[in-house]
Chain A
């Protein structure tokens, strides 16, 4: 968003002018000592009323891992991996010395408003609680002014245009807090869907929309200006133009939500699970645009929906192409335009002067500029800014500027500052106008931290976010399905394909291979496109009803300490073996099998999985009486839960057991002969629905209620006992 004219100072918008001209009435006014950091996080509302600071207005109403100061003299970076806030002076110089402010926990987002800088902290001092830190800009730098205690895993922040309210999402705890920025008190704490993340505030200041990391629905918050805001859920099926006919797709990786200045479009860049286009076994990118309803009208999706039986015309040449090379571009019914626009949309901002949307493509180390006027901007890639500077020769990962995760526009919109998380840098990318393009000028990069001491850890981290390395991935990184070591909430289809050797497809002559696909219709499309067959597919070409075996994405963080085995069937003896096996599932090519290339990558990844991923915060409260009763049931001889889910080893003994009788597979999947599954760890199980390898239960209560005596024994339990058992499971 652009600078408005400043409220208190009618000077031109030059940083220097603002600082000198406004400073005695502006940011410098806030007291340095107020409510300072040494104080333990008090209960919400304990903070004293902060004097409303003055100065230019916030350049952006939504936070990110990177923010430009309203005064245009600094960039603030929420450096999650080093528990610090970095201050980078502007104008941008690659050899500038960033200042470091140590934080009491890992920051997720930062937002620069007039005279104040807000930082969300996921967990304060291992307390289980999150916080909003309020820093005042003082002549000598930032000074912590207040700390507002919030539900754990505080992540996204946005403010209203009048800067009187802030909204903060708490991801793991699925809460949304509305904060009075004058009194620095929490007005409301609302329950919302799983993993709320990015927030877009409408220009009216009374409404906001929230994206979710898991699922296609978004949250709408009303009544922000008043004292009793409310939250409701809005359906927004992913990528309707790329969906299989008649199917509403789910989404993942909804990190960002962006509203335009008029407030008539809200953009949700994300990953559409099961969307079609080209070779997209993993789904496709999508920017789903919501039209906020006016005057009591419901919110609607902007985009139309793909319909297969639509007018089309083609000439003889097209028919020839279609017959000759069914896998060539253009012949599948779904458009391939932009099906590779971005991978893992980690952040997004609008560039109003050009009506474009800039998306940080975490997996491909790019900043992608899209036509924001399209009904799905992912169809309109205007420019790709390659921000990676060098690549390793052995690993196809960035050595400079990997995993872009935050974007801030310069005040004249001629440049974008990008935070590259996996290499700890900020780069300045020059943005062209119109359809033009700057030719591969390496953007200047500023290092935030001196190089990582542990080379293996550094590589593991860069590999984890990377979707370009051909050995590990066929277009989606570990972070694409296991974001932050958590999971996408999706049940993937594991399908065995065999190339049709009678065909002239590029696949013929290859070994059979097993691949994840996002939706049964995707297996169908791939079979036609690649000319491959599969015994694990039911239905006719064009109308496949089931494909492959169900594989719910497991959570990794805190669940990968054990030696082994790994995999839902416990088929991999240890973690490196599982990773090497996994590589072949996350890509369609079997050209790179378990050789030294794969083993080397697995080694570094294991290091990152075990030491680099951070577990979600846990409430430190004493367990309730109900949870204690549930614990007794869990450990009882009758229920037998703890006989397999052994507490000392993360609530699993890692035994691979069939739970009989095996029910028929859920819709869209085929039955598998191996009915034995590894007892999963129950650590953090309360936050990782759906449950079981096939995602058959949406909630823990449903699991316990429908279990009967398949797994341990639950049929003897009363309704209260079952609730108590669930209450206990939620504390694990």
Chain B
């Protein structure tokens, strides 16, 4: 298992459309700059990270807005989901801009699927498989999605298991569950 890294400021390339997300073109997610890899902390020491504030402390607009720009993500506060399993909170970090949520998880993801919910503006990203190997050096999975009243959404991350000898397969790992019943003032985000 890999330790979490606190990522340096990031920028979103507008050109990274959904269509090219699956391509092994870039080795870092569209919302990351290469400077992320500069945080060359020794592997075993827990890196410092800002403490996330509870999602419930933020007022989240019920009106729809455009997906945030890269600069907005750069200054986005880190938020703690309503609930996250301990392993998910070790490996993932969530950020908030208006009603938009971004989730970064440090794991060897093979795929992400949206199972339900609005898909306008949704961005999914997994680290490409490295040449001649299975596991990328700093693998990451990223989900950017809106939280909309009355429109719950669910994302499933698939993680790579196995290794060189037994072969590899993909397994469902974390589930991101965003729910905002119309009658409730705030959304709930569960990561498990």
Contacts and interface: CB of A to CB of B under 8 A. Distances in A.
Interface of A: 240-241, 264, 291, 293-294, 297, 300, 302-307, 310-318, 320-322, 325, 328-331, 333-337, 355, 371, 373-375, 379-380, 382, 434-435
B179 interface: yes
> Looking at B22, B119, B122, B128, which has the most chain A CB atoms within 10 Å of its CB?
B22
A310 B86 contact: no
A691 to B, nearest CB: 36
A379 B128 contact: no
Contact of B112 (A241, A313, A375): A313
Interface in B104-118: 109-117
A318 B170 contact: yes
A380 B175 CA distance: 8
Contact of A310 (B24, B119, B181, B188): B119
A334 B114 CA distance: 10
Nearest to A330: B170
Contacts of A312: 22, 111-114, 124
A314 B158 CA distance: 9
A32 B126 CA distance: 70
Contact of B188 (A297, A303, A306, A373): A373
A302 B113 contact: no
Interface stretch (B3-11, B55-63, B147-155): B147-155
Given A374-B190, A375-B177, 16 more contacts: A240-B116, A264-B181, A304-B151, A304-B152, A304-B154, A306-B116, A311-B119, A312-B113, A313-B112, A314-B110, A316-B24, A317-B134, A318-B170, A328-B169, A337-B156, A434-B86
A329 B170 contact: yes
Contact of B111 (A318, A334, A355): A318
B74 interface: no
A303 B128 CA distance: 32
Given A330-B170, A333-B113, A371 B192 contact: yes
> Looking at A312, A336, A355, which has the most chain B CB atoms within 10 Å of its CB?
A312
Contacts of A291: 181, 183
Nearest to A435: B86
B129 interface: yes
Interface residues of B, number: 50
11 contacts: A304-B153, A311-B123, A321-B169, A330-B170, A335-B115, A337-B156, A337-B172, A355-B83, A371-B85, A380-B190, A435-B85
Contacts of B46: none
B110 A311 contact: no
A645 B170 CA distance: 55
A241 B160 contact: no
A574 to B, nearest CB: 45
A333 B158 CA distance: 11
Contacts of B86: 434-435
A307 B156 CA distance: 13
Given A373-B83, A373-B190, A379-B192, A321 B168 contact: yes
A330 B171 contact: yes
Contacts of B184: 264
B156 A335 contact: yes
B100 interface: no
Contacts of A331: 170
Contacts of A264: 181, 183-184
A403 to B, nearest CB: 28
A314 B116 contact: no
Interface string B18-53: 100110100000000000000000000000000000
A633 B166 CA distance: 70
A524 B10 CA distance: 43
A329 B116 CA distance: 20
Interface of B: 18, 21-22, 24, 82-83, 85-87, 109-117, 119, 122-129, 134, 151-154, 156, 158, 160, 168-172, 175, 177, 179, 181-184, 188, 190, 192
Given A241-B154, A304-B116, A312-B124, A371 B190 contact: yes
A315 B18 CA distance: 13
B168 A337 contact: no
Given A297-B183, A317-B168, A374-B190, A330 B158 contact: yes
A430 B119 CA distance: 42
6 shortest A-B CB distances, which residue pairs? A304-B116, A330-B170, A318-B110, A314-B111, A304-B152, A310-B114
A318 B171 CA distance: 10
A329 B169 contact: yes
> Looking at B83, B151, B156, B184, which has the most chain A CB atoms within 10 Å of its CB?
B156
Contacts of A375: 152, 154, 177, 179, 190
Nearest to B153: A304
Contacts of B117: 304, 310
Contacts of B153: 304
Contact of B152 (A303, A310, A313, A333): A303
Contact of A330 (B110, B116, B125, B151): B110
B82 A373 contact: yes
A379 B154 CA distance: 11
A21 B173 CA distance: 52
B125 to A, nearest CB: 6
Given A314-B126, A329-B169, A355-B83, A302 B175 contact: no
Contacts of B125: 313
A316 B123 CA distance: 18
A86 B114 CA distance: 50
A313 B190 contact: no
> Looking at A302, A311, A434, which has the most chain B CB atoms within 10 Å of its CB?
A311
> Looking at B82, B109, B152, which has the most chain A CB atoms within 10 Å of its CB?
B152
A303 B152 CA distance: 6
A374 B169 CA distance: 26
A373 B87 CA distance: 17
B18 A311 contact: yes
A331 B160 CA distance: 12
A379 B179 CA distance: 14
A293 B154 CA distance: 23
A321 B134 CA distance: 11
Nearest to B131: A316
A50 B115 CA distance: 54
A300 B82 CA distance: 21
B83 A300 contact: no
> Looking at B115, B122, B175, B183, which has the most chain A CB atoms within 10 Å of its CB?
B115
Nearest to B109: A315
A306 B192 CA distance: 18
Nearest to B118: A304
Contacts of A311: 18, 113-114, 119, 122-124
> Looking at B83, B85, B175, which has the most chain A CB atoms within 10 Å of its CB?
B175
A329 B171 contact: yes
B183 A294 contact: yes
B112 A315 contact: no
Contact of A315 (B111, B113, B190): B111
A333 B116 CA distance: 12
Contacts of B126: 313-315, 318
Contact of B116 (A307, A313, A317, A318): A307
Contacts of A315: 22, 24, 109-111, 126-129
A374 B124 CA distance: 21
A325 B156 CA distance: 20
Contacts of A322: 170
Contacts of B111: 312-315, 318, 330
Contacts of B192: 371, 374, 379-380
Contacts of A374: 175, 177, 190, 192
Nearest to B111: A314
Contacts of B24: 315-316
A312 B154 CA distance: 12
A495 to B, nearest CB: 26
Contact of B128 (A293, A294, A316, A336): A316
Contacts of A333: 113
Nearest to B18: A311
Contacts of A313: 18, 21-22, 111-112, 124-126
